[in-house]
Structures are given as C-alpha cells and as structure tokens.
C-alpha cells in the first residue's frame, strides 16, 4: 500500500489534452506505475490488441480478451496486470478537450460507455468492427501528426464522438439489459456528478435535490427506475467505495480516512462502515491484504 492513491493528469505539453499512445510502449515505460492502483483525471479508451490480462477497475476484475476495448471513466481506481504481456493502443482525453459546449457535456455524461452504472464497459472486436475502429484510430493519429490549426480540435472531437457512437451502438446490441435515455437517466447522471464532487462534505439527499432543482420524490423515482436503488443508497455506495479505495490502497489510518470522508468522529465512520460491509474498516483492510 502507499500513503495515497496516485493520481495522474495530462502531462504538460500535450496539445488539446487529447492523445493516442502505444500500449506496449506505455507498459514498458511506466510499468511500475501501471501495476499499482492509480487514478486519472481523464477518460481512457484502452484497446487490448494482444494479450489476455486481468484488469482491475474499482475492485471489479475485468477479463480482457485479445482485440477488445475497455472504456475507463475518469477517477476510477484501476490496476494493470503485472504478468501478462500486452499490446495495443490507449486513447486519452479530458473534459477540457471534449466538453466545449453544453451539448458536448450532455453527450459525454449520457454516454453509457463511461456511465454504465452497473458495470465497466468492455467490447470485444468481432467481424468488421475491428476494421471500423482501426479506421477511426488511424484518422485520429494522422490528424495529430498534422500542424495544429483552428480546425484540429473540432476535427479530433468529431472523430472521437463518432467512435463513441459506434461503440455505444455495439454495446447496446450485445447487452442483455439496456438503460433507456431520458429525463430519469439525466437526473441520475447529474446527481452522480454532484455526488462524485461533494460526497465527502454533503450526505443529505435534500441538499442535492436543491442543487438539482428537483423534489426528493422525483429523484427517488428516477434512481429507482434506472438503478433500482434510492438516492440515499447511492450516497452510501459512493462513500463506501471511496472508503474501500482508501483502506485498500493507502496507509492512511482509519481516523484519517474518517476525516477525509467527512465524518466528525472516527467511531461514527467505523459504525457506518460496519453497517454496510458487515466488517470493521480494519477487518476489511486486513482481508484485502
């Protein structure tokens, strides 16, 4: 374990906060950083062309098959396999790059590839799909090699949006259950965005509803329809997820974690964690190790 969960931003000098890198080269260059739990302040589209690694995303093991693409949401805690050789490409982009307008933001927030609230999106490339995605990647890499001008960021954003649309259509065709887009999903996604930013200081459903300008009854109906859980259960799940991340991947004491998560007394955090996990924070940490 480390003292903190390492977090990465786009390195300085990367134009547009948009980049495609060779996965094998990245794996070789940054092996020690990739095989330990870490977060990124940007989205990742990881194309595993060769290899069958075990990839971990927020305690969920993802069995990767050769020639498959994994969509990793920003701030997820992930860890690459340390034993399986891999080859492929990684496309990385930030909110600063993609969300230039309110329409862009709405598109990205409603894209189930990064906002599937039930699982990590992983698509196996079959049939002509691999050729289609390879075409998008080639177009993007070719554009990145040209001299930057006032058109480049828009061209790259359009390529990326089309890639996401094709991937989302593919995902819907292979998923046994789907989440219908509409007002309910929009409420849930907006609520989750607020929750990700404020869960450590705000734990009241009513105060989130004030920010969303929606009644508790309406938000409750939306989360039950989309997630089959209440807003309060979503708050609890987010707090517990962060608690598990900190217990598993840092050396922070239970007292420090309690304060980080906004609990005034460590004993309240211990009771809260045990209520939801059936074990104490220390018992969870020891079991995880």
Domain coordinates in residue numbering, the chain: 6-174, 183-288
The reply to whether CATH 2.60.120.280 applies to domain 6-174 is yes
Q: What angle separates helix 129-145 from helix 152-174, to the nearest 10 degrees? A: 170
| Distance, CA of 122 to CA of 108 (rounded, Å) | 17
DSSP class of residue 17 equals: G
Topology (CATH) of 183-288? Arc Repressor Mutant, subunit A (1.10.10)
- Nearest CA-CA partner of 194 in 213, 179, 217: 213
Q: What pLDDT digit, counting tens, does each position of 22-71 carry?
A: 999 998 999 999 999 999 999 999 999 998 998 999 888 888 999 999 99
Q: Is the fold of 6-174 the same as that of 183-288?
A: no
pLDDT by residue for the chain (289 residues), tens digit each? 556 788 899 887 778 899 999 999 998 999 999 999 999 999 999 999 998 998 999 888 888 999 999 999 998 999 999 988 889 999 999 999 999 988 898 888 878 898 776 678 899 988 889 999 999 999 999 999 999 899 999 999 999 999 999 999 998 887 645 566 688 888 998 898 899 899 999 999 999 999 999 999 999 999 998 888 999 999 999 999 999 999 988 999 999 999 999 999 999 999 999 999 999 999 999 987 6
CA–CA dist 280, 274 (Å, integer): 5
- Phi and psi at residue 93, to the nearest 5°: -155, 155
Sheet holding 60-63, edge to edge: 6-8, 38-40, 78-79, 54-57, 60-63
CB 70 within 8 Å of CB 121:
yes
**Helices marked H in the chain:** 23-29, 31-34, 95-98, 102-110, 112-115, 129-145, 152-174, 183-198, 205-212, 216-227, 231-249, 254-260, 266-277, 281-288
């Amino acid at each position: 374990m480390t003292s903190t969960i390492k977090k990465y931003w786009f390195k300085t000098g990367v134009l547009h906060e948009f980049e495609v890198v060779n996965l094998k080269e990245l794996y070789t260059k940054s092996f020690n950083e990739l095989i330990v739990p870490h977060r990124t302040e940007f989205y990742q589209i990881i194309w595993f062309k060769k290899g069958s690694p075990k990839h971990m995303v927020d305690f969920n093991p993802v069995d990767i098959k050769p020639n498959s693409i994994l969509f990793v949401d920003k701030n997820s805690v992930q860890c690459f396999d340390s034993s399986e050789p891999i080859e492929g490409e990684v496309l990385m982009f930030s909110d600063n790059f993609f969300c230039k307008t309110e329409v862009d933001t709405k598109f990205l927030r409603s894209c189930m590839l990064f906002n599937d609230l039930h699982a990590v999106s992983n698509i196996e490339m079959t049939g002509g799909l691999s050729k289609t995605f390879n075409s998008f990647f080639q177009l993007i890499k070719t554009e990145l090699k040209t001299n930057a001008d006032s058109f480049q960021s828009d061209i790259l954003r359009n390529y990326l949006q089309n890639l996401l649309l094709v991937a989302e259509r593919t995902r819907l065709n292979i998923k046994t259950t789907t989440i219908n887009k509409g007002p309910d999903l929009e409420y849930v996604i907006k609520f989750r965005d607020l929750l990700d930013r404020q869960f450590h200081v705000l734990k009241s459903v009513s105060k989130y509803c004030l920010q969303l300008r929606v009644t508790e009854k309406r938000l409750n109906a939306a989360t039950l329809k989309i997630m089959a859980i209440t807003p309060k259960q979503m708050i609890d799940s987010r707090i517990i997820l962060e608690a598990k991340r900190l217990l598993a991947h840092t050396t922070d004491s239970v007292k420090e974690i309690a304060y980080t998560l906004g609990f005034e007394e460590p004993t309240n955090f211990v009771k809260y964690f045990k209520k939801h996990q059936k074990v104490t924070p220390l018992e969870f940490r020891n079991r995880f190790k």
